[in-house]
Amino acid sequence: MFQHLVESLPRRVEAVIAAMFQHLVEMYLIVYLSLSCPTDNCDLHFKVSRDHYSGYPLTVEGFAYLWAGARASYGVSKGKVCYEMKILEEIAVKHLPSSEPDPHVVRIGWSLDSCSTQLGEEAFSFGYGGTGKKSSDCKFEDYGEKFGENDVIGCFIDFDAGGEEVKIAFSKNGVWLDVGFQVSREELAGRPLFPHVLVKNCAIEFNFGQKEEPFHPPPEGYRFIQTIGIEDRTRGAVGPASKADCEILMMVGLPACGKTTWASKHTESHPEMKYNTLGTNAIMEKMKVMGLRRQKNYAGRWDVLIQQATQCLNRLIQIAARKRRNYILDQTNVYGSAQRRKMRPFEGFQRKAIVICPTEEDFKERTLRQTDEQGKDVPDQAVLEMKANFLLPEPSDFLEEVIFVELQREEAFNLVKEYNEEGRKAGPPPDKRHDNRPGGFRGNGGGYQRYDDRGGPRGGVGYQSRDAGGYRRGNNRGGYTGNRWGGNGNYREGGSSAPRAGYNRNQQSGGYNRPAPYSKGGYNQVTMDTPAVLSDVTPLGRPSSFSAHFGNPVQHLPALSQSTDLKTTEDHVSEKSCYL
């Protein structure tokens, strides 16, 4: 017997080595697939965990007003399918005013891959929210029960139900809540629906079937989406494979000339591009309350909210330059210096300028219509200053192509010359644009800076005519500081040196590092893909809930150079898995 064991030992060693080699090959394929197939399924301000089964939104400053959405990588169009979502924590947002309605909400459900991340606010997007409402196409109705921290919501879809409708139902902590939506098969036209979540200041976790045991057993006949064969699932849109495949369109034009309208129509007519629109209008869309824009129901100072939206936009632009997606930069961008500065971080992308110069008659009509519909956004003096400094872009080292949408180059050039003369005759405003005096957002004080898209030299951001004001923001609050990522007060080491609203603003190496709220673990507010900045221990000495649920990337991810595209550090997740 001993001799038999000795003789069989080499075969066993060989088998072990073969198994290890096979495992390494499988891991390589997983990594290769995850790196070569980057997804485009979540908002820029939604942080997905290393295992791609949980996540949380940025909540610092104005981000606490924003919804953040994410959609799973696979959808289904047949069978009885389910998944679960647990609310891990309602993240403390003490900097929000007490008048803010429902500061912690999660909306969960299903949507088409072509839908936006705003679950329940367009057709074929079906959500059940923590306020006890269901919604689709921005129509809200009472449904089920309210839910919150530590609750588990089950999401069920039944394509096998008899009749002409697909049924969508939900459960709360294992208790069935009945059918919430009935979707016409004819209108759905065989298109798959994908798991989808929309959160505000909450950390969540999914069970697509990857867990050994579910939170709650599903009803008879339902299967978790990840247990369904790959041939019976549909892969969602896959993002560009490299920066060279990415496109950024920089809108150029005066306020109300039609930039946002063009961007919306272009996005709708090119769904395969999955454009991410970067602009304060897009930010305000993510601040909706019950599907209504903030103008309809905001009790606070509107100018302060606009300032916060501008700050959020600056952060998102910085994040966007490091992720492989397609973008539309929906700002005025009429200053030559702003055009160059904003395109520099997107080096390697296909960079194009879209110039919108309508006739003077059309421009006046559009301005009046926007004022009637949305109120006066930009003072006349600010528009005159933009006219005085309007510079048409040209192909250059930071722009591969310039496209004129309405008036073509020659006519637009003549019109802009008239704008320049009109603005200069109106004369400069009494205060200088760039100085370090107190007051305005040009230095350290309050009030407005100039309403332009250039920003201060290092002194903060202003309202800037629905613009982000570039990247160079002062007071060590982050921003793109020139032609590199790094240095004090920039994106990776940003954050104000003065604590505010209970946040630790002194960063170790990037993003926001938030202390634990009271007895709970704190969520490190790290912008999207920034690794190696999290700690396993909160300032209170307790294991942070982030590390408990998301792991510590310091232990698993390599250090990255400043030039590294962080999207290539996607975690080791199988392409066959259903994940965020």
DSSP assignment string, 468-486: ---S--STT-----SSSS-
Q: 368 pLDDT exceeds 70? A: yes
Residue 211: which pLDDT band, with cuts at 50, 70 and 90?
Answer: very high
Q: Which of 47, 85, 94, 49 is nearest to 69 (CA)?
A: 47
Spatial contact of 226 and 210, defined as CB atoms under 8 Å apart: yes
The reported pLDDT for the residue numbered 510 is: 37
Q: What is the pLDDT of residue 5?
A: 55
* Cα dihedral: 202, 556, 510, 470 (round 10): -80
Confidence at 457, pLDDT banded by 50, 70, 90: very low
User: How far apart are the C-alpha atoms of 416 and 414, rounded to whole Å?
Assistant: 5
pLDDT tens for each residue of 399-429: 999 999 999 999 999 999 999 999 999 876 5
Determine what percent of the chain falls in helix, strand and coil, rounding each to the nearest 5.
Answer: 30, 20, 50
- Share of residues in the chain with pLDDT > 90 (%): 56
pLDDT for the residue 546: 40
Second-level CATH architecture of 243-426: 3-Layer(aba) Sandwich (3.40)
- Single out the residue of 547, 573, 570, 545 nearest to residue 557, CA to CA: 570
- Give the residue extent of every domain in the chain: 37-238+523-580, 243-426
pLDDT band at 22 (very low <50, low <70, confident <90, very high): low
- pLDDT at residue 219 is higher than 80: yes
Q: Which residues pair with 404 in a beta bridge?
A: 355
Q: pLDDT at residue 178 above 70?
A: yes
> How sure is the predictor about 288, in pLDDT bands with cuts at 50, 70 and 90?
confident
Record the tokens describing residue 469, joined without a space: 């004001």
Span 383-409, mean pLDDT? 96
Instruction: Please compute the mean of the pLDDT values over residues 215-228 and round it to a whole number.
Output: 96
Task: Over range 260-282, report the average pLDDT.
Answer: 94
Q: Which of 36-50, 186-200, 315-329 has the lowest mean pLDDT?
A: 36-50
- What is the reported pLDDT for 316? 95
User: Among 36-50, 106-120, 310-324, 340-354, which is the least confidently predicted range?
Assistant: 36-50
Q: Is the domain 37-238+523-580 a CATH 1.20.1250.20 member?
A: no
> What mean pLDDT comes out for the span 94-123?
94
Residues written for the chain: 580
Note the pLDDT of residue 147. Answer: 98
Tell me what pLDDT residue 541 has. 32
pTM of the entire predicted model: 0.71
pLDDT of the residue at 41: 85
CA distance 237 to 246: 14
% of the chain exceeding 70 in pLDDT: 66
Residue 84 pLDDT level (bands cut at 50, 70, 90) = very high
CA distance linking residue 169 with residue 367, whole number of Å:
45
- Determine the residue type at 244: A
Enclosing H/E stretch for 404 = strand 401-404
Q: 213-230 burial string, b = 16+ CB within 10 Å, else e? A: ebbbebeeebebbbebee
Phi-psi region of 489 (alpha: psi -120 to 50; beta: other; left: phi over 0): left
pLDDT over threshold 60, residue 312: yes
Give the relative orientation of helices 409-426 and 380-389 as an angle to the nearest 10 degrees.
120
- How distant, in Å, are the alpha carbons of 83, 356, 365, 387 from that of 361? 54, 14, 6, 16
Average pLDDT over residues 263-292: 91
Instruction: Identify which has the larger pLDDT, 512 or 305.
Output: 305
Q: How far apart are CA 332 and CA 296, in angstroms?
A: 25
User: By CB neighbour count within 10 A (0-12 exposed, 13-18 middle, 19+ buried), where does 525 fall?
Assistant: buried
Mean of all residue pLDDT scores within the chain: 76
